[in-house]
């Protein structure tokens, strides 16, 4: 079925509108319908045309969410009506954003769909602390993993991830892991030393950003003591050791 409309999945990044790509800004401004995720900042939504129809379709762990099937149906119907639809998603659409599912559904419905990448929260979080995700002396790679298992699905094998991180010198970047931090900590300690550096960053890139630097052995206790909550990113690995040195040097800002 041919349609005159189209859908673009746009990564809104971690929240700071200055971190949007030029392509993302162009897509948002051109949209006639914008479906907005819960974690997209108001400053990013404000870039849409005053004539655009803004629909908030919140999807956030632990909160009441708009059913995914309903969101997909809205995109298809709007595109078939000739609308220029932007699905505005926090971070990057293809990193824990269910973008893959939405692209598959839209293509199956015969809808033209494009994807505009955004800066993922894990990258913005460590950059805000002045350290990298990879480093020739500290980390040869990085693993992005969700701490939130799909209902009825398998949880990550944290012990296997810990062994891989130890053997291959990898940085672990854990999304949606605050509520399960105690379990994650216990499992990672099966192969990683308790003094492995760790950091927790809440609201990465936003004015209300909060963070704490700790060790894997103190991860859950630090989250509780500092009252860090979702949305937060947990970073585990030797790259975090560089935070003290980075704070003594000129600050590096995400750009």
Output the pLDDT for position 152. Answer: 62
How high is the pLDDT of residue 66? 81
Domain at 121-248, CATH homologous superfamily: Tetrapyrrole methylase, C-terminal domain (3.30.950.10)
Residue 171 confidence (pLDDT) above 50: yes
Label residue 175 by pLDDT band (50, 70, 90): very high
Q: HSE-up of 81 (CA within 13 Å, CB side)?
A: 10
pLDDT band at 154 (very low <50, low <70, confident <90, very high): confident
Residue spans per domain, the chain: 6-116, 121-248
In this prediction, residue 62 carries a pLDDT of 47
- Gyration radius from the chain CA atoms: 19
Mean per-residue pLDDT over the chain, rounded: 91
| Mean pLDDT along residues 206-210 | 95
Q: What is the DSSP letter of 91?
A: B
- Residue 172: predicted pLDDT: 98
Does 246 score more than 60 pLDDT? no
User: Once rounded to an integer, what is the mean pLDDT over residues 160-172?
Assistant: 97
Place of tokens 């980075």: 246
Q: How far apart are CA 158 and CA 165, in angstroms?
A: 10
In what helix (H) or strand (E) does residue 115 lie, and over which residues does it extend? strand 112-116
Q: Is the peptide bond before 231 cis (omega within 30 degrees of 0)?
A: yes
Q: What is the pLDDT of residues 45-88, one digit of tens each?
A: 999 999 999 999 976 544 567 889 999 999 999 999 999 999 99
Q: Which two tokens stand for residue 189?
A: 């300690």
Q: Which fold has domain 6-116?
A: Cobalt-precorrin-4 Transmethylase; domain 1 (3.40.1010)
List active site positions: 37, 59, 176
pLDDT mean over 130-142: 92
Rounded CA separation 178/223 (Å): 7
Grouping H, G, I as helix, E, B as strand and the rest as coil, residue 240 is helix
Joined tokens for residue 226: 């500092």
- pLDDT above 90: percentage of residues in the chain: 82
Q: Are the CB atoms for 126 and 235 separated by under 8 Å?
A: yes
Q: What per-residue confidence (pLDDT) applies to 125?
A: 95
| Mean pLDDT score, 233-254 | 70
- Percent over 70 (pLDDT), the chain: 90
pLDDT of 245 reads: 58
């Amino acid at each position: 079925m041919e349609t005159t409309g189209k859908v673009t999945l746009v990564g809104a990044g971690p929240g700071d509108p200055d971190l949007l790509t030029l392509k993302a800004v162009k897509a948002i401004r051109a949209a006639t319908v914008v479906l907005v995720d819960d974690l997209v900042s108001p400053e990013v939504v404000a870039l849409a045309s005053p004539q655009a129809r803004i629909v908030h379709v919140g999807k956030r762990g632990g909160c009441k969410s708009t059913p995914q099937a309903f969101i997909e149906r809205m995109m298809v119907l709007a595109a078939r009506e000739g609308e220029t639809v932007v699905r505005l998603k926090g971070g990057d659409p293809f990193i824990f954003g269910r973008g893959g599912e939405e692209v598959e559904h839209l293509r199956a419905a015969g809808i033209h769909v494009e994807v505009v990448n955004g800066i993922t929260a894990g990258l913005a979080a460590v950059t805000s602390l002045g350290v990298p995700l990879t480093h020739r002396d500290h980390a040869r790679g990085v693993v992005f993993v969700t701490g939130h298992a799909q209902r009825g699905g398998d949880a990550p094998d944290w012990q296997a991830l810990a062994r891989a991180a130890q053997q291959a010198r990898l940085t672990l970047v854990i999304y949606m892991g605050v509520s399960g931090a105690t379990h994650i900590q216990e499992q990672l300690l099966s192969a990683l030393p308790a003094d492995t550096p760790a950091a927790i960053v809440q609201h990465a890139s936003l004015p209300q950003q909060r963070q704490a630097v700790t060790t894997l052995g103190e991860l859950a206790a630090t989250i509780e003591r500092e009252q860090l909550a979702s949305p937060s990113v947990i970073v585990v690995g030797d790259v975090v050791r560089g935070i003290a040195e980075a704070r003594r040097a000129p600050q590096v800002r995400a750009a």
